[in-house]
Chain A
Amino acid sequence: MRERLALARYVLTENPVNLAALLLLAILLFSALLGPALVPYDPLATNTAIALNPPSAAHWFGTDQLGRDIFSRVVVATRIDLAIAFGAVLLSLSIGAMIGAAMGYFGGMLDRVGGRIVDVLMAFPLFALAMGVVAALGNSVSSVVYATAVINLPFYVRLARAEVSVRRGLGYVEAARIGGSSNLRILRVFLLPNILPTLVVQASVNLGWAVLNAAGLSFIGLGVRAPTPEWGIMVAEGAQFILSGRWWLAAFPGAALMLAVFCFNLLGDGLRDIVDPRSRT
């Protein structure tokens, strides 16, 4: 325990960026968990009398075209955006890890066929693929989650496959075989737990993309629908007002999006430094 704390202190002090990432994450999680209870205004309450007001003391981020408080909407949107991102990445990671590990361990036909399927998936422009999945499954939040999960799957499959291939010939795997473990048990007990740290690092970077993906899909009208507050929708609705000088409708949700993606990327870098310092950039 003590050496974990020492390591944590080293990582945080050595690169101040990690500290920044951690703080940002704290803010995001706070907004997602407690935001809806603490925001000053109801994010759905309309009031056309104060529509399109610039940022002021009463409305920190201003109001949108229906008089809704943008600050409250941005904070409440955190929950849905993060939920979609975490959900999708979790799904991707768990399914991708199992498929990739099986491919890396057993090799042979499974590996060759699986590898080709992954190649095909990766050959598609990912966003178009996501659109296709949402269109096929219907316009709802869950299909956004599935779509994001599907397009992220290949990364985890490849990573898991590579990590398992490397470890497959190691002494402790052979020892497990000699110790009477079946192939399935070796995968479950000896291999998957050991490749998890690398996958988690990939996941934290992926979270940024997932958030962007979700926002992008709702930007074009797929997935989350108005009036639910969600950063992508807010940017979409606010975009038409930029030319007339009302920048605050799109800018604040856009900034929130940027901060979230930034935070997850930094987090991923920091985690990677802890897990495998040799692959630093």
Chain B
Amino acid sequence: MTPVLELRALSKSFTVAGAQTGLAWPWRRRASSRLAAVDHVDLRVMPGEALGLVGESGCGKSTLARLASRLIDADAGEILLDGAGIHDVSPARFATSPQRRHVQMVFQDPTESLNPRFSVFEAIADPVRMLLPGSTREIAARVEKAAAQVGLPRELFSRFPHQLSGGQKARVGIARAMAVEPRLLVLDEPTSALDVSVQALVLKLLVQLRRQAGVALLFVSHDLTVVRLLCDRIAVMYLGQVVETADSATLFRAPRHPYTRALLSAIPRLPGVARATREHLDGEPRSPIDPDPNACRFAGRCPLETKLCTTEAPTLRAVAPDHIVRCHHPLESAMP
């Protein structure tokens, strides 16, 4: 089966102004460093699957989400949508291609992601008008269908964002993305800015959408408790690289990468919920600027570090069917 989304060796780095010595004459080339936001990432999302992309700030997951949804250009690598490459068109050209509608996005802050001047109807109808042009009646029908899918009552159609509650705004964002019937929905921290009760609503909605419309999800989040509930498989990122990929249950029960284990142990648990002993990660993460190509990015904080980890960068290797880890010393599969 062809994956809905496939990323091959995808890389994106940003130029950061280097340290200045002396006067900044215009002809002097400033030493610039590269911030490797996404470094040779391979990823696959199968049709109808929910893949969680987790990691902490600076790991590159948001950049990856924007690369996958073609908001920004990659520096190298390939992006394949249903097997067809979409990486060699500029974002502006891609906006007018027929594939644009198949990758849609739900944003983090529902308030910021809605045009204050658009009514609810306008907001949902706009991408439909641009990507699936048709008669007014056809467009209205699509808007109504999308609104019904997310449980948005018709009375709200003429309201503006400032008249909506947080939950309603979140629903409008999702309806807008679903109105063009995409194959893949990229969600960038869709629940971080929401209250707990609204979060629950949105999660249930997403599960329902998957069941009904069969849309695949790329769910980017730093909140592992949410990802655990929603996603079939999870990819863990650290400083621009994927360090572990496995199905949800396995990842939570028996992580193989030391970072994943530390991450999981840091999640606060309610009383009565089983927990592993907390592992503290010492120090700060390595700088993502000009990373050392011959060392593991996690070296310096890893409890299992050896000399090998600072002289050779580990590659992704399968430690079990469908479970890959980037580590020289992956943990034993049996968890304490």
* Residue B130 lies at the interface, judged by CB distance under 8 Å to chain A: yes
Determine if B113 and A171 form an interchain contact, defined as CB atoms under 8 angstroms apart. yes
* Residue B233 lies at the interface, judged by CB distance under 8 Å to chain A: no
Stretch at the interface among A42-50, A156-164, A179-187, A226-234: A179-187
Number of interface residues of A (CB under 8 A): 16
Determine if B95 and A177 form an interchain contact, defined as CB atoms under 8 angstroms apart. yes
Which of A170, A171, A182, A183 has the most chain B CB atoms inside 10 A of its CB? A171
* A178-B92 in contact given A171-B107, A171-B113 (Cβ < 8 Å): no
* A180-B113 in contact given A174-B71, A174-B105, A175-B176 (Cβ < 8 Å): no
Q: Give the complex CA separation of A190 and B123 in angstroms.
A: 11
* Residue B13 lies at the interface, judged by CB distance under 8 Å to chain A: no
Give 4 A-B pairs besides A174-B71, A175-B176 with Cβ atoms closer than 8 angstroms.
A174-B105, A178-B127, A179-B130, A179-B180
Determine if A194 and B101 form an interchain contact, defined as CB atoms under 8 angstroms apart. no
Q: Top 6 nearest A-B pairs by Cβ distance?
A: A171-B113, A179-B127, A180-B130, A171-B107, A171-B112, A180-B131
Q: Give the complex CA separation of A171 and B188 in angstroms.
A: 11
Determine if B130 and A177 form an interchain contact, defined as CB atoms under 8 angstroms apart. no
Determine if A172 and B96 form an interchain contact, defined as CB atoms under 8 angstroms apart. no
Determine if A179 and B71 form an interchain contact, defined as CB atoms under 8 angstroms apart. no
* Residue A22 lies at the interface, judged by CB distance under 8 Å to chain B: no
* Residue B108 lies at the interface, judged by CB distance under 8 Å to chain A: yes
- CB-contacts of B109-134 with A (<8 A): 109, 112-117, 126-127, 130-131
Determine if A179 and B126 form an interchain contact, defined as CB atoms under 8 angstroms apart. yes
* A182-B96 in contact given A171-B108, A175-B113, A194-B115 (Cβ < 8 Å): yes
Which of A174, A190, A194 has the most chain B CB atoms inside 10 A of its CB? A174
* A182-B92 in contact given A177-B71, A194-B115 (Cβ < 8 Å): yes
- CB-contacts of A167-220 with B (<8 A): 170-172, 174-183, 190, 193-194
What's the least CB distance linking A111 to chain B, in Å? 17
Q: Give the complex CA separation of A193 and B96 in angstroms.
A: 23
Determine if A172 and B91 form an interchain contact, defined as CB atoms under 8 angstroms apart. no
Determine if A174 and B107 form an interchain contact, defined as CB atoms under 8 angstroms apart. yes
Q: Give the complex CA separation of A175 and B110 in angstroms.
A: 11
Q: Give the complex CA separation of A194 and B105 in angstroms.
A: 22
Determine if A183 and B115 form an interchain contact, defined as CB atoms under 8 angstroms apart. no
A to B CB contacts below 8 Å, 8 in the list: A171-B109, A174-B107, A175-B127, A178-B69, A178-B103, A179-B176, A179-B180, A190-B115
What's the least CB distance linking B314 to chain A, in Å? 34
Determine if A193 and B107 form an interchain contact, defined as CB atoms under 8 angstroms apart. no
Determine if A180 and B112 form an interchain contact, defined as CB atoms under 8 angstroms apart. no
Chain B residues closer than 8 Å to A178, beta-carbon distance: 69-71, 100, 103-105, 127, 177
Which of B91, B127, B177, B180 has the most chain A CB atoms inside 10 A of its CB? B127
Determine if A180 and B127 form an interchain contact, defined as CB atoms under 8 angstroms apart. yes
What's the least CB distance linking B287 to chain A, in Å? 24
A182's partner among B95, B104, B112 (CB-CB below 8 A) is B95
Which of chain A's residues has its CB closest to B70's CB? Answer: A178
Chain B residues closer than 8 Å to A190, beta-carbon distance: 115, 117
Chain A residues closer than 8 Å to B117, beta-carbon distance: 190, 193-194
